[in-house]
Amino acid sequence: MNLEEKIVKKNYIYEGKIINVRRDDAELPNGKPCIREVVEHPGGVCVAALTDDNELLFVRQFRYPYLEVVAELPAGKLEKGEDPFESGKRELEEEAGCVAATYRDLGKFYPTPGYCGEIIHLYAAKDLTFTKQNLDEDEFLNVEKIPLDKAVEMVLNNELRDGKTQAAVLKVKLLRDKGLW
C-alpha cells in the first residue's frame, strides 16, 4: 500500500528567526485533499559526553515553553549549512567546556514527527579534555556530572524528560553494556 502524501502547495504563515510555520495543501495516498501544518526547523545536535569516571555531562537550563529548568545533554541548533558533527563538537565545548578525542555517531532522532521537520543528530563522546565554557550572550546554564547508571534511572523515573537526552543516554548505556563504547 502506498503511504506517501504529496505537497500540492506550501503556504507560509510565519517566518521567524528559528522556525517557519506552514499550512500546506496536500494530497493523501488515495488522492483526497488534506491540510498539513508543518513547523520547519534547521535541526540540531546532542552530545552524550562520557567522562573517564563513567559520568555524563549534563546542562541545566531554563526552557521557556515549559517554564522550568530542564536537565539535558549538551545540545544546540544547527547553523545554516553547518555539518552536524562539527556542530556537535562546537556545542560540547561552548556549553560544557570540553573537547573529546573520540566520537561515535548515535544516529538521528525525530523529536516531533507529527508536525515538525526537525532532525536531531545524536553523538557520543569520550576521552574528554576540559577547556573553557563559551556560552552565547543569551545562554545561561549550569553544568553537572551524573553517573551513567544514575542517568538511566532518571530516564526511567521520568526525571529526565527531554527526548533527545533520553534516547542518547539509553543508547550509550546499551553500547557500554555490550562493550561497544
Quickly list DSSP for 55-96. EEEEEEEEETTTTEEEEE-SEEEPPTT--HHHHHHHHIIIII
CATH of 44-177, one of 3.20.20.70, 3.10.450.50, 3.30.565.10, 3.90.79.10: 3.90.79.10
Domain residue spans of the chain? 6-40, 44-177
Handedness of CA 158, 163, 165, 167 (dihedral sign): positive
Q: How many other CB atoms sit within 10 Å of the CB of residue 125? A: 25
For the chain, 181 residues long, give each residue's pLDDT as a single digit of tens. Answer: 999 999 999 999 999 999 999 999 999 999 999 999 999 999 999 999 999 999 999 999 999 999 999 999 999 999 989 999 999 999 999 999 999 999 999 999 999 999 999 999 999 999 999 999 999 899 999 999 999 999 999 999 999 999 999 999 999 999 999 999 9
The greatest distance separating any two alpha carbons of the chain, rounded to the nearest whole angstrom, comes to: 57
Burial class (CB in 10 A: 0-12, 13-18, 19+), 20: middle
- Report d(CA 42, CA 80) in Å as an integer: 7
Over the stretch 8-47, which tens digit does the pLDDT of each residue have? 999 999 999 999 999 999 999 999 999 999 999 999 999 9
Q: Hey, which residues are catalytic here?
A: 137
